[in-house]
Amino acid sequence: MIDIEQFKNVEMKVGKVLEASAVPDSNKLLLLKVSFGEKDTRTVVSGIAKYITPEDTQGKCCVFVTNLPERPLAGFVSQAMVLAVTKEVEGSTVFSLFEAPEIFVGERVG
């Protein structure tokens, strides 16, 4: 377990997915270009392709963990992690991103 001081160090922000595409040669990964209201966008590689299409991801405002170390994935460098949840219900998988209104883009969560 982590204590509250450790949790306070987790930086979660609302970001807007500006672009989304499938990662070549992967049926699990999506490549996202995300704005956090800063000058530059960030690249995010996420294992959500089984649950949501690039078209349905683009334009969404979601919660991301933004202070993780950069991580190479499938030839790209992921600069944040999108928060999502899945659950098996009656033989089907239910999936949800943690979405927020666009007005909160760049704002810290928590």
Read off the CATH number of the domain in which 39 is found.
2.40.50.140
Dump pLDDT digits (tens) for 2-61. 999 999 999 999 999 999 999 999 999 999 999 999 999 999 999 999 999 999 999 999
Whole-prediction pTM = 0.93
Residue with tokens 């209104």: 101
Whether residue 16 lies inside any domain: the answer is yes
What one-character-per-residue DSSP string does 13-76 give? EEEEEEEEEEPTT-SS-EEEEEE-SSSS-EEEEES-TTT--HHHHTT-EEEEE--SPPEEETTE
Band the pLDDT of 110: cuts 50, 70, 90: confident
How confident is the model over 87-91, as a mean pLDDT?
93
Tell me the residue type at 7: F
* Residue range of the domain that includes 92: 4-105
Quote the distance between the C-alpha of residue 85 and its chain's center. Answer: 11
Q: How confident is the model at residue 80 (pLDDT cuts 50, 70, 90)?
A: very high
14 - beta bridge partners?
63
Structurally, the chain folds into a number of domains equal to 1
